[in-house]
A and B are shown apart, each in its own frame.
Chain A
């Protein structure tokens, strides 16, 4: 997994949490460009006008102040 991508997430209690938090659209778009596993969620669940955004990805799990990336959780666990 690319180091620059991992650096955008904080690893705490077995969750990879997006450091930038909520409503940071430009950051979410930039990080999605780094990600090889981005997969758009249902259109009804997308919240960013730009398709390729972590906020639109089916692997994100909303939290109260950010989101957790399940793709990282699964991939990093598998490769370790």
Chain B
């Protein structure tokens, strides 16, 4: 099995299937086809600026894949799904990184960080991809999605950026809290840790009150449930707290 990191961007339009959903579908497809394993999908916020065309947001979606498939097979399957599911007006791009290859991880992280604070050209993205031997391809429209796709790889590799796509459902209700220990949460969700908004790591026997929409973030190279103190209780962090990720 080889290790891959795959990122897509600019696949959607108002009222169409979101990029995150398409990424999740590709992850599932690749894992099922090969008997491999895909990670959670992480969402990475990029720069919002009038010069950057985007739909309701500007974010890339990334996942890790362990698979015996060749790079050519991964690309073929992923692109077929990307093209089939992307909105007609979208500008999709995809980046595929062989994580075990010898590449300059710092250059890729720097590119990701730059894409969060400045406008970057497609040419710059292609140039870096070629230099690092990352497969970067566009599939319709202006192809601008290659910028976010490459940047998303860098941000995922940085290890502390992005929210995990989807919600964590453990039986909690919108208005009624469910109390679980950290150990129970980790066992039932597949997450790696429970960490507070001020970066304190909770012990396995500590209790957390879960209510409403529960989401995870990617922090310190782990999938993490973010919690905040409410009096003496730990509660899952709200969307406003998650906005920083």
Known: A49-B212, A62-B57, A63-B48. A42 touches B21 (CB 8 A): yes
Residues of chain A within 8 A of B240, CB atoms compared: 23, 25, 47-49
Chain B proximity of A17: nearest CB distance (Å): 11
> Once bound together, how far apart are the Cα atoms of A25 and B241, in whole Å?
13
Q: Majority SS of interface residues in chain B?
A: loop
- Does B127 reach chain A (CB closer than 8 Å)? no
Chain A proximity of B16: nearest CB distance (Å): 10
Known: A59-B56, A62-B48, A62-B58. A47 touches B243 (CB 8 A): yes
Q: Does A58 lie within 8 Å of B56, measured CB to CB?
A: yes
- Does A43 reach chain B (CB closer than 8 Å)? yes
Residues of chain B within 8 A of A30, CB atoms compared: none
Write the chain B residue with the least CB distance to A51.
B213
Q: Does A44 lie within 8 Å of B243, measured CB to CB?
A: no
- Does B231 reach chain A (CB closer than 8 Å)? no
- Does A46 reach chain B (CB closer than 8 Å)? yes
Q: Determine which of A23, A41, A58, A64 lies in contact with B49 in the assembled complex, contact meaning CB atoms within 8 Å.
A: A64
Q: Determine which of B14, B50, B239 lies in contact with A63 in the assembled complex, contact meaning CB atoms within 8 Å.
A: B50
Question: Interface segment, B67-75, B161-169, B176-184, B201-209?
Answer: B161-169
Write the chain B residue with the least CB distance to A43.
B167
**A52-78 to B contact mask, C-beta < 8 Å, 1/0:** 000001111111100000100000000
Q: Does B239 lie within 8 Å of A49, measured CB to CB?
A: yes
Q: Majority SS of interface residues in chain A?
A: loop
> Once bound together, how far apart are the Cα atoms of A24 and B43, in whole Å?
23
Q: Does A42 lie within 8 Å of B239, measured CB to CB?
A: no
Q: Does A42 lie within 8 Å of B20, measured CB to CB?
A: yes
Chain A proximity of B63: nearest CB distance (Å): 13
- Does A10 reach chain B (CB closer than 8 Å)? no
Residues of chain A within 8 A of B143, CB atoms compared: none
- Does B171 reach chain A (CB closer than 8 Å)? no
Chain B residues 143-181 with CB under 8 Å of chain A are 163, 165-167
Residues of chain A within 8 A of B166, CB atoms compared: 43-44
Chain A proximity of B13: nearest CB distance (Å): 10
Query: Which interface residue of A23, A42, A47, A60 has the most chain B CB atoms within 10 A?
Result: A42
Q: Determine which of A39, A44, A70 lies in contact with B165 in the assembled complex, contact meaning CB atoms within 8 Å.
A: A44
**A18-48 to B contact mask, C-beta < 8 Å, 1/0:** 0000010100000000000001011111111
Known: A41-B56, A44-B20, A45-B57. A64 touches B14 (CB 8 A): no
Residues of B within 8 A of A (CB): 14-15, 18, 20-21, 43, 48-50, 54-59, 163, 165-167, 212-213, 238-240, 242-243
